[in-house]
Amino acid sequence: MEYHELYAKEKRHQKIINFLKYAFLTFWALVVLFPFYWMILSSLKSYSAYNSEYIPQFITLEPTLENYAYALNEVPLADYFVNTLIFTLLTTIIMLIVTILAAYAFARLNFKGKNLLFTACLALMMIPNELVIITNFVTITDWNMRNTFLGLILPSVTSVFYIYLLKENFAAVPDELYYAAKVDGTSDLKYLFKVLLPICKPTVITVAILKIIECWNSYVWPRLITDDENYFLVSNGIQAIRESGFGRENIPAMMAAVVMISLPLIILFLLFRKKIMAGVSRGGLKG
């Protein structure tokens, strides 16, 4: 009998703890999601409805898309999008080519001073961006590359960490494959592209996605290097909207712009959730 009582008590206890756990987790999930909800909600309220609220409303009965049209027409948001897309894609592609070649040299080829050079590269990982950005700003200015895509892209290409990540992955591929390819007379370049890259595709994709996220959200460098609206990226665009607004402070239109800017990455995230989370836990740099 005592046992039954104890068992029942333990069960009750367990239930309460479980409830508290879920309550806590749900609360935090709401804290995370609420800003997103508020952003979408506000973007659907009309300007007059938003500004005539005496009490902030949690739902809207007259959703409207006028803010989206307004945001797209009043500021060149579409151009910012295209700029960001060009910047992100070119930077990622150049970074991939440069990084893959270097990682291959470190992982597969032999040369004098390889270990020393690799260690030196790893040491460079510790250099904070803030320390080098000043000279890079001067360099790009001297090269007359302010307000150009090249000026935006070039300093953003280098990523020692991704060289390291890919090198580790390349080195894990069995040597036999390489020697077999060599016996068949395959060149290094062909081996890299036909054999190694297909095997290491998951890591390459992870690296590419991480870089895309980084590029899409970059703000500091583009702000320094562009003051011509024609070269603004979305971050700078949203900041410009924040500072000078749409002539008047139009929060719903601002939120519509924010929704449009956030959406591409959220879709990318939902598509590649597992890859992104695994990649970030291996080498996330933000946080």
Which of residues 61 and 131 has its CB atom nearest to another protein in the complex?
131
Q: Choose, by CB under 8 A, the member of 74, 79, 168, 188 that binds another protein.
A: 188
Q: Choose, by CB under 8 A, the member of 71, 224, 253, 256 that binds another protein.
A: 224
Cα 195 from Cα 182, distance rounded (Å): 12
- Please spell the DSSP secondary structure of 189-217, one letter per residue: HHHIIIIIHHHTHHHHHHHHHHHHHHHHH
Which of residues 207 and 257 has its CB atom nearest to another protein in the complex?
257
Task: Work out whether 287 is an interface residue with another protein (CB under 8 A).
Answer: yes
Touching another protein, residues 54-93 (CB under 8 A) = 54-56
Task: Work out whether 197 is an interface residue with another protein (CB under 8 A).
Answer: no
Touching another protein, residues 153-172 (CB under 8 A) = 154-155, 157-158, 160, 163
> In the structure encoding, which two tokens stand for residue 66, read together?
């006028």
Contacts 24+ apart (CB under 8 A), 218-223: 218/156, 220/129, 220/133, 221/133, 221/136, 221/152, 221/155, 221/156, 222/87, 222/152
61 close to 210: Cβ distance less than 8 angstroms: no
Task: Work out whether 99 is an interface residue with another protein (CB under 8 A).
Answer: yes
Smallest separation (angstroms) from another protein to the CB of 71 = 12
217 close to 138: Cβ distance less than 8 angstroms: no
Smallest separation (angstroms) from another protein to the CB of 104 = 6
Q: Choose, by CB under 8 A, the member of 1, 59, 61, 109 that binds another protein.
A: 109
> Total binding residues for another protein by CB under 8 A?
90
